[in-house]
């Protein structure tokens, strides 16, 4: 491996399973110390817990909708590894198709608390540390194609991911003078336990995807590695769509 993230520390939320797990494993291969922050340590897809597969990794139980838990995780990351260089706000939920009139207030509040509030304060807390360190940093937010185009019967989800998309742009402007780059990844349908079990969207859009297939978590991890590394040193405020061409139509 090229060790593009050597001597860096990355905090990745929702990293026990799916996309977050793949990002954590890829970052570790590239030399990063990795903190796996999640509400559970066991992968939804089964197998060895993510942090146990890392040579320099730890697990911290974290509910991103709880700001104090998130703050504690950020502080523990710095105490453990001495810095926070890359923040990946990956934790999120996708409830599947929900016509607007079927979404209850409690469901809406939970969705926004995880998908948008958790990202907002993940960015806030990471930026505070990165500013104190004075060496810049990289913040990567996981949005969605539902953050840039309409997605059938997903008004609440689109609202949450649209918020992440534009939050990313704003923070790139606000934090640029501090050398902190803020970017987002907007995945299409990615084959994970969440998309195949909870949301049942995997395999449903193949005829509308130019590449003719769902994406794999490893393909999002590759995009995250680019944005975290010095290869993207002049990239900020960008929402990188990784969707097999779905939104090109």
If 0-12 CB within 10 Å is exposed, 13-18 middle and 19+ buried, where does residue 53 land? middle
CB 12 within 8 A of CB 34: yes
How far is Cα 23 from Cα 41, in angstroms, rounded to an integer?
Answer: 15
| Structure token digits, residue 224 | 């995250």
Give kind and range of the element (H or E) at residue 19: helix 18-29
The DSSP bridge pattern shows strands 9-13 and 86-89 to be: parallel
Please name which of 76, 85, 107 lies closest in space to residue 94, comparing C-alpha atoms.
107
* Beta carbons within 10 angstroms of residue 76's beta carbon: 16
Is residue 157 part of the annotated active site? The answer reads yes
Strand order in the sheet with 239-242: 57-61, 33-38, 9-13, 86-89, 137-142, 180-187, 239-242
Please name which of 88, 64, 117, 91 lies closest in space to residue 184, comparing C-alpha atoms.
88
Q: Among residues 120, 157, 234, 246, which one is catalytic?
A: 157
Please name which of 110, 67, 91 lies closest in space to residue 14, comparing C-alpha atoms.
91
Mind telling me the catalytic residues? 157
């Amino acid at each position: 491996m090229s060790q593009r993230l050597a001597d860096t520390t990355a905090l990745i939320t929702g990293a026990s399973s799916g996309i977050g797990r793949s990002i954590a494993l890829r970052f570790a291969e590239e030399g990063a110390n990795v903190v796996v922050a999640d509400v559970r340590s066991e992968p939804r897809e089964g197998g060895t817990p993510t942090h146990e597969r890392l040579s320099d990794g730890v697990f911290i139980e974290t509910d991103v909708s709880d700001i104090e838990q998130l703050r504690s995780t950020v502080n523990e990351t710095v105490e453990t590894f001495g810095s926070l260089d890359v923040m990946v706000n990956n934790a999120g939920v996708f409830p599947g198709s929900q016509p607007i009139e079927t979404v209850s207030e409690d469901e809406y509040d939970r969705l926004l608390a995880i998908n948008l509030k958790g990202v907002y304060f993940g960015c806030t807390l990471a930026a505070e540390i990165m500013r104190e360190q004075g060496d810049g940093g990289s913040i990567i937010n996981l949005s969605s194609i539902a953050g840039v185009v309409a997605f059938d019967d997903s008004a609440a989800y689109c609202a949450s991911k649209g918020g992440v998309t534009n939050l990313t742009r704003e923070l790139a402007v606000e934090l640029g003078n501090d050398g902190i780059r803020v970017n987002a990844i907007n995945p299409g349908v990615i084959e994970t336990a969440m998309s195949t079990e909870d949301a049942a969207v995997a395999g449903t859009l193949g005829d509308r995807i130019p590449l003719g297939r769902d994406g794999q978590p490893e393909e999002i991890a590759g995009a995250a590695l680019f944005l975290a590394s010095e290869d993207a040193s002049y990239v900020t405020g960008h929402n990188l769509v990784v969707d097999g061409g779905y939104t090109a139509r």
